[in-house]
Every structure is written in C-alpha cells, then in structure tokens.
Structure 1
C-alpha cells in the first residue's frame, strides 16, 4: 500500500468505479458480470437477472457515486452520519431500518446505545493512529465484526475504508469477488477469536493497485 497523492487516488477511484461496484456486488453473490454492470450503471437495463441483483448493483453504484462526491468536495469524515448515509443507500432495498444502527429504527431491540458507544470508541482509536492505511484496516475490521446495521454491513465498511484511503492519497482496496470465501473465513476468524490479523493480512494482499 504505497503512498501517493489525493488527486491521483481520487482520479483512479473514479476511473475504476464500475470494477469496484462489480466486485462489491460479487462478494454478495450477485450474478452481474462486469460488462453488465457497466451497462446498467450507464442507464441501460440488463435482462435475465433477478430484480434484487439489479437493485443491489444500482444501489452500490449510487453509494460509490456519493462517496466520490464526498471525497471530491472534501466532505468525507469518519463519523456516524457519513456511515449512516452510505448504508441508507446500499441497504435501502433490504431493510426498513437502512441508515440507522440496530435498535435505532423500527426494530427497537439491538443495543443501539452500546453500538453508538462502540462507534465512538472506534473513532477514538482511529484518531490515535497516525497511518491512514492502518486507520482504514482498523475501521473495516471493527465495523464488519460489530455489524452496526441490520443489512449491508460489509458493503458499508468497504465504502468507509475506501473513503479513508482515497482521501489520504491511497488507492482503494479492491476485494475480488473470486476471493469471497477467503473474506468470509477471515471474518469468521475475527468473530471467533477477536483477532484481526488474518483479515488485515487478507486486505493488504488485496491492495495491489489497478493499472492506470
């Protein structure tokens, strides 16, 4: 994960946005191919796919576009309002409580006060960490494990991690869809052992920059 500059990272992020959407969707088991994702994001309907898969791709495309604008206008920050906004987009077709921590919405059970406390603790830990690369890894591991929302947790964590990286001049980490089982195993290990070493190593291994 080599240092760069913010403008270059943002430019590369915009150029590779369809690939980021495609890989994020594939991690959810989505059936769209990369050419089909490009077509759908261009506003052309693609047939022979479940309606849920199409909605998921479009929601991811909108979320990545929102992230692009937040970073581009210097408005991306590691706070709950940004995370809620991105989750509201990616999970809007999957949960009536999209954009709200578990327990904040219609399903009152879920420990919302505890989750807000954990998020505040995550912010404090990140603020004490000087390296943006480590900040991004810590954020993804913590958010994916804690599962702040009723749906879309991994996608939201991925978006936030991407925002941290590109706003600090680093390329986004792309997790290839074909490595879905590796990701699931690393997440299971984190939940079972409270040790993020395997997941962090996996993310770093996925961090090879795309070609210009």
Structure 2
C-alpha cells in the first residue's frame, strides 16, 4: 500500500511500554498543567508555567491579552474532552472525532470543520493538498494506519500526516497531536508532550519534514521525547 501523502518512513521494531488505559489517563491528569503549558508555548504563548497553573485554577491573569488566555483555555477544554472520550471508550480515529476536538482546540480561531480553501505554511515551499482532496486523504490515512501494528508508530504517523495535510485553516498540529495522544491513551500508552524547551528543535524538524516528506528524523525525535532511545537499522528503528 502506498503511504498517504507520499510520506517516507521506517518502522519501529520494538513494542512500546503498555501500562493500561486507566493508568495512562491518570498519569496525564497528574501532568495536566505541564501538557497545557507545553502546547501553548509551542504556539508562542507568553504565559509562564505558574501563570498557566493559576489560570487552570480559574483565576485570570492581569495584563494578558484575551487571545492568549483563550489559547490556554482551549487546550484545557480539548485535552479534557479527549480524556472523557478515552475513558468512556468513545475515542476513534474518525473525521467526526477529529473535527470535534479541533473545534475545541481552535475555538474562536477556526471553524471546526475541514477547510474549504487553500492554506500555506510559513517557512517552507511545501503546498498542502487542495481542499477537495481532504476527505479522500483522511480515508487513506485511516486505512493505512490500520495496517500499522505498533500503536506508538500509528499514533506518531497520524500526527505527521495530519500536520502535512493541513485539514483545517488553523490548529492543525495541535489537533493532530491531540489525536496522536488519543491513540496512545486508547492503547494504554503514556501520552507525549513536546517540551517547551524543545520548541526550536521541533520547529526545525517540522520544516525539514514539510520540505522532504521524510518522517524518520521526526519519528526518532518523538520517540526520544517519549523516553525511547532508538537507532536506525535498515528500514526499521530499534531500541539502542
């Protein structure tokens, strides 16, 4: 089967650590403020970690722009909804769930549905697919991911494919990472948060991915964040 969007990638030849859905959700809840902070920081939020904690406790921060506050609240609401879906066994890789989460992720930024126009990505010459192709591409993605036996690999590939396709006018990486974590949690695997301190490295690797469609460097990067040390071995990645 051809890879959707002509993405090139190797395969993980090790199994991720399975801790169970309930424990994975509990561990995410324990780190909830950190996850929200990391997501917002990748989007350029000026909020410090203590300020994020304070806002999540329901106390507004004086002197901050409303849109910056809304970004934090959107990430809170979307992450909480993801946890509800997973805990109730209602999380699935469907367009409806994808759009439902996006509506919360990008509330007051985008429309909560697949775009009907063109978009571009700053810093790269890559042109995302035309809007009339998006439904077909999403179906291709779902079918392809069903052939991937490793849930960690499947989750990470959803994030990369969603970011490359740019299904929405805004909030694509945020929503695709949320879906990635839904796949992980649903499989009993710890969610992945890209630390704020890794923002520069992450952005550079994303731009390289857009330009080349080679996902190997990003897969290795995401694995390292998740605590897996990997090395290349032919067309696979293995524990180091």
TM-score by length of 2: 0.81
**Structure 2: stretches of 5+ with no match in the other structure:** 1-15, 118-128, 229-240
The CA deviation at 1:19 is 1.0
Query: Is the strand fraction higher in 1 or 2?
Result: 2
Where does residue 84 of structure 1 map in the other structure?
A: 99
Give the structure 2 partner of residue 121 of structure 1: 140
In structure 2, how many angstroms separate the alpha carbons of the residues matched to 1:157 and 1:79? 12
Q: How does 1:44-63 map to 2 (within 5 A)?
A: 44-63=59-78
SS in 1 for 2:79: helix
Higher helix share: 1
Structure 1 segment 179-194 matched on structure 2, within 5 A: 179-194=198-213
Aligned residue number for residue 102 of structure 1: 115
Figure out how many residues of one structure are paired with residues of the other and give that number: 202
Pairing 1:138-157 to 2, within 5 Å after superposition: 138-157=157-176
What residue in structure 2 maps to residue 71 of structure 1?
Answer: 86
1:102–1:111 Cα contact (<8 Å) kept: no
CA displacement 1:60-106 (0-9 Å, x = unmatched):
100001001001111000111111011111112212xx2111118xx
Distance 1:25 1:58 in 2: 10
Aligned residue number for residue 24 of structure 1: 39
- Segments of structure 1 that go 5 or more residues without pairing to the other structure are 105-109
* Structure 1 stretches of 4+ moved >6 Å: none
Measured against aligned partners, the alpha-carbon deviations of 1:93-139 in whole angstroms (never above 9, x if no partner) come to 212xx2111118xxxxx833301111111100111111110110110
- CA distance in 1 between counterparts of 2:137 and 2:199 reads 27
Where relative contact order (Cα < 8 A, 6+ residues apart) is larger, the structure is 2
Superposition deviation, residue 48 in structure 1: 2.3
8 Å CA contact 1:145–1:187 kept in 2: the answer is: no
Question: Larger Cα Rg: Structure 1 or Structure 2?
Answer: 2
Tell me how far apart the structure 2 counterparts of residues 65 and 49 of structure 1 sit (CA, whole Å).
23
Matched residue SS, 2:162: helix
CA distance in 2 between partners of 1:111 and 1:146 (Å): 9
For residues 77 and 58 of structure 2, the distance between their equivalents in structure 1, rounded to whole angstroms, comes to 12
Measure the CA separation in 2 of the matches of 1:83 and 1:187: 21
Query: 1:107 is matched with which residue?
Result: none
TM-score using structure 1 length: 0.91
State the Cα distance separating 1:3 from its structure 2 match: 2.1
Distance 2:33 2:220 in 1: 25
